[in-house]
């Protein structure tokens, strides 16, 4: 069940059964020569959507722009300042809380978002604690899970791509997007075949170190079949975690 494809009576009825919502959260940033700019938003979105087709789970709209400062030397990237992202996440959470949602499971697709998402949770809990007298039980609980850390997913990715997985524009994440949008696949010869590793600093430094945008990866290995397997593993794990979190 997707929030954007539901009517308000359907959401009201869902709330009578369940008070948990899943929000895919990602980024709009360069993903190398053959990766889609939406990769980090598309990956958690397709996993959550598929899970929401299998079980009674409401999936919210995708929070699809995040912390992408270091990718700004590549055209198409959009970034939020940490303070803007925290403010927007709080407004999303407060809107949902206003309707009776008590648990928000944020399924994240971008490692660079983690520190800011955690800071946003801290701001939310401060707001709750400061606004209520004598009650230390938060009225909303948040959970963060990076999709590649869902049970069994990382092992599967290593098995599918023993070399050239790397850390940015990985064959695994590109495969997931190719499974989601097969018509948007791009075949590009990569030179060097496996991209260099190195530290992440500002945008100009990034482009000097990683001229085509990849870090340590060979995403020319990406394929729809691998994406389908990764999504299936992630969906199974997400369904389990959603049930545990909802019952907590």
The residue ranges that bind Zn ion (CB under 5 A) are 39-40, 173
Minimal distance, residue 101 CB to Zn ion, in Å: 28
Minimal distance, residue 177 CB to Zn ion, in Å: 9
Cα dihedral across residues 161, 167, 170, 173: positive or negative:
positive
Q: Which is nearer to Zn ion, 40 or 45 (CB)?
A: 40
H-helix segments, the chain: 8-17, 39-54, 82-99, 114-131, 153-160, 171-180, 203-209, 224-247
Strand order in the sheet with 141-146: 58-59, 20-25, 103-108, 141-146
CB of 29 within 8 A of CB of 65?
no
**Which residues are CB-neighbours of 205 under 8 A, at least 6 positions away?**
none
Q: Which is nearer to Zn ion, 20 or 77 (CB)?
A: 77
Minimal distance, residue 191 CB to Zn ion, in Å: 21
Q: Which is nearer to Zn ion, 39 or 69 (CB)?
A: 39
Minimal distance, residue 40 CB to Zn ion, in Å: 4
Q: What is the DSSP letter of 112?
A: G
Minimal distance, residue 62 CB to Zn ion, in Å: 14
Residue closest to Zn ion, measured at CB: 40
d(CA 28, CA 42): 10
Minimal distance, residue 39 CB to Zn ion, in Å: 5
Q: Which is nearer to Zn ion, 20 or 170 (CB)?
A: 170
d(CA 143, CA 136): 18
Q: Which is nearer to Zn ion, 14 or 44 (CB)?
A: 44
Other Cβ atoms closer than 10 A to 195: 26
d(CA 18, CA 44): 21
Q: Which is nearer to Zn ion, 3 or 144 (CB)?
A: 144
């Amino acid at each position: 069940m997707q929030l954007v494809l539901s009517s308000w009576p359907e959401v009201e009825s869902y709330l009578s059964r369940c008070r948990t919502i899943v929000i895919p959260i990602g980024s709009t940033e360069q993903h190398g020569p053959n990766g889609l700019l939406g990769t980090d938003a598309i990956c958690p979105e397709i996993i959550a959507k598929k899970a929401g087709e299998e079980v009674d789970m409401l999936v919210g709209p995708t929070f699809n722009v995040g912390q992408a400062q270091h990718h700004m030397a590549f055209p198409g990237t959009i970034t939020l300042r940490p303070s803007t992202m925290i403010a927007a996440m709080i407004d999303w959470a407060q809107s949902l809380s206003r309707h009776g949602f008590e648990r928000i499971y944020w399924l994240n697709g971008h490692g660079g978002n983690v520190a800011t998402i955690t800071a946003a949770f801290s701001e939310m809990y401060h707001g709750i604690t400061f606004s209520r007298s004598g009650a230390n039980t938060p009225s909303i609980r948040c959970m963060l899970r990076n999709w590649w850390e869902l049970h069994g997913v990382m092992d599967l990715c290593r098995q599918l791509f023993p070399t050239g997985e790397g850390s940015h524009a990985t064959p695994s994440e590109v495969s997931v997007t190719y499974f989601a949008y097969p018509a948007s696949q791009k075949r590009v010869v990569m030179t060097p075949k496996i991209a260099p590793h190195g530290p992440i600093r500002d945008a100009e430094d990034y482009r000097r170190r990683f001229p085509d945008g990849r870090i340590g990866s060979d995403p020319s290995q990406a394929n729809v079949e691998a994406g389908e397997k990764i999504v299936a593993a992630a969906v199974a794990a997400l369904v389990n975690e959603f049930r545990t979190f909802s019952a907590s």
